[in-house]
Amino acid sequence: MKLLEDKIKEVGRVLPGDVLKVDAFLNHQVDPKLMAEMGKEFAKLFKDDDITRIVTVESSGIAPAVMAGLYMDVPVVFARKHKSLTLTDDVYTSEVYSYTKQTSNQISIDKRFIQPNDRLLIIDDFLANGQAVQGLLDVANQANVSVNGIGIVIEKSYQKGHELIEKTGIHLESLAKIRSLDNDKVTFVED
């Protein structure tokens, strides 16, 4: 998605440790018009996947997921993150490790908000090692519903998340695919 790649080039910052900071438009400050364009793009990319509901993880997934939900006309559920949780029967939970923050969080979704015949679209801001997506796939598995699509805003294509998802056969779409952050420079995968 050219608009997104241009924005990354313009205001994204490459930091030591293979970090791409996009807090100027995605995960701290948010550009609502860009989010709306991303929502439209997700709606187009997944229009044949028969999606009934979008799931994401708080907080950075919420803006793109809600915009996608608007243009796809489906509800959105954001999983809550907790350091730890007293387990109850009322929620699906999974463990998600963040390599960036080097901490583990439980994510949880209230069982009322996944229905037996749902066909889910997972949306997230970043795909690197694929931990958050794995957590949401685990939740879908517990709920015994199918995941028909995975939509990512920015994918680091050289990390293992991409391959992990490819192996599942689930329809994956990433709006921006990064080939490398070497030499403090963002290089995109050629389409």
Measure the CA–CA gap between 144 and 157, rounded to whole angstroms: 29
Measure the CA–CA gap between 47 and 125, rounded to whole angstroms: 20
Name which of residues 113 to 152 contact a copy of itself (CB under 8 A): 113
Among residues 93 and 165, whose Cβ is nearest to a copy of itself? 93
| Count, residues near a copy of itself per rule CB under 8 A | 30
Residue 54 Cβ vs a copy of itself, minimum distance, rounded to whole Å:
9
Residue 67 Cβ vs a copy of itself, minimum distance, rounded to whole Å:
7
Q: Find how far residue 188's CA is from the centre of its chain.
A: 18
> 103 forms bridges with which residues in the sheet?
98
Q: Is 130 annotated as a binding residue?
A: yes
Select the residue interacting with a copy of itself from 112, 117, 184, 185 (CB under 8 A): 112
Cβ atoms 106, 85 nearer than 8 A? yes
Nearest residue to 110 via CA among 133, 85, 130, 132: 85
Residue 140 phi/psi, 5-degree rounding, is: -60, -40
Q: Is 7 annotated as a binding residue?
A: no
Cβ neighbour number for residue 85 with a 10 Å cutoff: 14
Q: Is 132 annotated as a binding residue?
A: yes
Name which of residues 47 to 106 contact a copy of itself (CB under 8 A): 58-59, 62-63, 65-67, 69-70, 73-78, 80
- Residues with Cβ within 8 Å of 95's Cβ and at least 6 positions away in sequence, in order, are 104, 105, 106, 107, 135
* Binding status of residue 32 toward a copy of itself by CB under 8 A: yes
Q: Is 117 annotated as a binding residue?
A: no
Q: Is 27 annotated as a binding residue?
A: yes
Return the range that interacts with a copy of itself (CB under 8 A); candidates 28-36, 130-138, 140-148, 155-163: 28-36
Binding-site sequence positions for 5-phospho-alpha-D-ribose 1-diphosphate: 128-132
